[in-house]
Amino acid sequence: MKKLTLIVLLFAAAGLAGELWSCTTFLMSGKYTPDGKPILYKHRDTGTLDNALVFFTDGKYQFIGMVDSKESWKQEVWGGFNSAGFAIMNSAAYNNNGGDTTKFADQEGVVMRLALASCATLADFEKMLDKMPKPLGVDANFGVIDAQGGAAYYETGNFTYKKIDANDLALAPYGLLIRTNHSFTGTVDEGGGYIRFAAASEALNMALAQKKLDPRYLMNIISRNLKHSLTGVNLREDLPASAAGTTFRNFEDFIPRTSSASVIMVVGSAKGEDPDNAMMWTLTGFPLTAVAVPVWVSAGRDLPQVVSMKENMHAPLCDAAMTLKHQLFPITRGSGGKYMNVALLLNREQTGIMQKLAPVEDEIFSKTTEMMTSLTGNAKTRKEKVIEHYAWLDSYIIQKYNELFGIEIN
């Protein structure tokens, strides 16, 4: 009986891990993007659904990081970029430490915080990994870009890592690399995320073929991707008539999941360009109910208030997105949490949550593009323009969530 109980618990733990650490990531070399800027993207799944942005100043480089809304934010960062134009993210791999019985684990956030504080280039990151005490306590795909044209994944276990270079034509003919929850150099057919990998691959390869690589489009085809690559189910098709009805659909193994907590998309600086031009788009909160917000390290510590960590360690926009998410998943008993009321998300009357937020986000991207084209002059003038834009973003987002959903963001 004890043996059977242990087996059940192990399978339960494996299933829980697969749900909570199911990130979908990609990076793209600047050699293949229209403006020469590399892209680093992380759709984050985690057991801590409250996320926030923090501006850090305690390292060699200043940096902005996505963190959990709990005390560990001081030691762990789950993706971000720094003043040198260096950016890093991760996805759990689950197949880099085959046969390893090391108990030391879950140090990915610690590694990324250290890298953002101290690294300017991919070479710096490699030196850091080489010098760190072993075992590292990780089983991860670390994605990294820098301001020197570098873009690569580091498939990393406790004792070794393997570099997968996005500038290597043999490995990435179009500069694109995708990772979910398995490493390509790890144990074959172990790890997870294969269904999400297929969905991301289909979407991103089509985007490459069509040369549609702008941040708005990429965010929608990944973090709002509602097509299941295995079953072919597409929740954007055959929509319910209106939000008034109740139409539940199983919501497992899509790229967005009930465990999805945030998104970061770093648009780096082109090779030879000022690293201050690097910026990051974020979805701070459930991706189907949050709107994108841009940030720049070069603008300093005064981030948009809606995505910044408050005294309670929460970000207001994340809280608002969670309020709307609860409406989409109203059943809490049994397996009810696996089912989403699609009618509240999308419907033929165009009154779903995503449909109401789409024009809001369109305006954010439009105004941000307009602002970015005006970023000329000295560093002080540029910073003032960004800070002014942050003020507009806060005001606009607060206003729209109140108008559309009656949610007070504060």
Confidence of residue 1 (pLDDT cuts 50, 70, 90): very low
CA angle 112, 193, 137 (to 5 degrees): 35
- Of 188, 192, 185, 191, give the one whose Cα is nearest residue 171: 185
Q: Domain total for the chain?
A: 1
Residue 314, pLDDT > 70, answer: yes
Tell me which of 14 and 243 has the higher pLDDT.
243
**Residue 277: pLDDT band by 50, 70, 90 thresholds?**
very high
The whole-number pLDDT of residue 376 equals: 82
Residue 319 placed within a domain: no
Model pLDDT, residue 20: 54
DSSP 95: S
Spatial neighbors of 321 by CB under 8 A, at least 6 apart, are 284, 285, 286, 289, 290
Look at residue 152 and tell me if it is in a domain. Answer: yes
Q: Is 317 within a domain?
A: no
One DSSP character per residue, 24-50 reads EEEEE-TTSSTTS--EEEEEEE-S---
Query: With 80 as the cut, is the pLDDT of residue 265 above it?
Result: yes
| 342 in a structural domain | no
Q: pLDDT per residue over 160-217, tens digit each?
A: 999 999 999 999 999 999 999 999 999 999 999 999 999 999 999 999 999 999 999 9
> Which residues span the domain enclosing 31?
2-237+255-311
364 — pLDDT class (breaks 50, 70, 90):
very high
pTM above 0.85, yes or no: yes
Q: Please give the Cα distance from 226 to 82 (Å, whole number).
A: 32
**Residue 302 belongs to some domain of the structure:** yes
- Residue 169 in any domain: the answer is yes
pLDDT of residue 17: 42
% residues pLDDT > 90 (the chain): 92
Q: What is the pLDDT of residue 222?
A: 98
Task: Give the pLDDT confidence score for residue 377 in this predicted structure.
Answer: 80
Residue 3 pLDDT grade (very low, low, confident, very high; cuts 50, 70, 90): very low
7 pLDDT higher than 60: no
Residue 362: partners with Cβ closer than 8 Å, 6 or more residues away: 216
Residue 9 in this model has a pLDDT that exceeds 70 = no
Average pLDDT over residues 62-74: 97
Question: Which residue in the block uniquely carries the two structure tokens 């193994």?
Answer: 253
CATH of residue 290: 3.60.60.10
Whether residue 219 lies inside any domain: the answer is: yes
Phi and psi at 361, nearest 5°, equal -70, -35
Q: Quote the mean pLDDT of the chain.
A: 94
Q: Tell me the pLDDT tens digit for each residue of 389-407.
A: 999 999 999 999 999 999 9
Q: What angle do CA 96, 102, 107 make, to 5 degrees?
A: 70
Kindly state whether residue 298 falls inside one of the protein's structural domains. Answer: yes
